[in-house]
Chain A
Amino acid sequence: AQKVTQAQTEISVVEKEDVTLDCVYETRDTTYYLFWYKQPPSGELVFLIRRNSFDEQNEISGRYSWNFQKSTSSFNFTITASQVVDSAVYFCALSDTGAQKLVFGQGTRLTINP
């Protein structure tokens, strides 16, 4: 069965600090997708990134970067120079490549203090 673990339940940092959100996954599939979603206080889920299991290149998008390491089954998310607007719950998720049923971690609540 597929499983996603986000061991950090809550993280609180001061603005401009860098912060890394951890994600570890389990799957028996050889092909799969990994995702990060952001859930602001308003509740909607905002898609941030998807990685294919064959693509282990790290990705950077502005202040956001993602580190995918198949050897450790991890897909970590780093926010550089955090801002108050980054405060949200962040979910890591895993899906198959067929019906793309998402399996979510429990989420990490990130609070950026001014």
Chain B
Amino acid sequence: SQTIHQWPATLVQPVGSPLSLECTVEGTSNPNLYWYRQAAGRGLQLLFYSVGIGQISSEVPQNLSASRPQDRQFILSSKKLLLSDSGFYLCAWAQNYQPQHFGDGTRLSIL
């Protein structure tokens, strides 16, 4: 069966520091991968999605970037974090037009 892993579960970072969040999927190949962000008390917003290695689509202008160095690995990064980057980040995968399944998320606090 397929599983999705996200880490770390929680992260506290100072303003201006770099960021790297990682997401991996097991048990499948060539999945669609997605990064969403949930600001406190609000809905989820799609940040990036990828339909294959090296293929990244950005949905909103922001201080973040994404990369897919391997088929089942999706990384969310920032060179310098802003206070507004705080939130709950969720990675998801989908394949063959099946519904997206989400990881457990990373709670990011910027101080």
Contacts and interface: CB of A to CB of B under 8 A. Distances in A.
A102 B103 contact: no
A103 B34 CA distance: 12
Instruction: Specify the main secondary structure of chain A where it touches its partner.
Output: loop
B45 interface: yes
A104 B44 contact: yes
A99 B49 contact: yes
Interface residues of B, number: 25
A47 B104 CA distance: 13
A25 interface: no
Contact of B43 (A47, A97, A107): A107
B32 A45 contact: no
B105 A99 contact: no
A91 B94 CA distance: 18
Contacts of A44: 102-105
B43 A105 contact: yes
A103 B42 contact: no
Determine chain B's interface SS by DSSP, over half rule: strand
A105 B103 CA distance: 19
Interface residues of A, number: 20
Nearest to B104: A44
A99 B92 CA distance: 13
Given A35-B99, A47-B100, A104 B94 contact: no
A102 B44 contact: yes
A42 B99 CA distance: 21
21 contacts: A33-B99, A35-B99, A44-B105, A45-B44, A45-B90, A45-B92, A45-B102, A47-B101, A47-B102, A50-B99, A99-B57, A100-B32, A100-B100, A101-B49, A102-B34, A102-B36, A103-B46, A104-B43, A105-B43, A106-B43, A107-B42
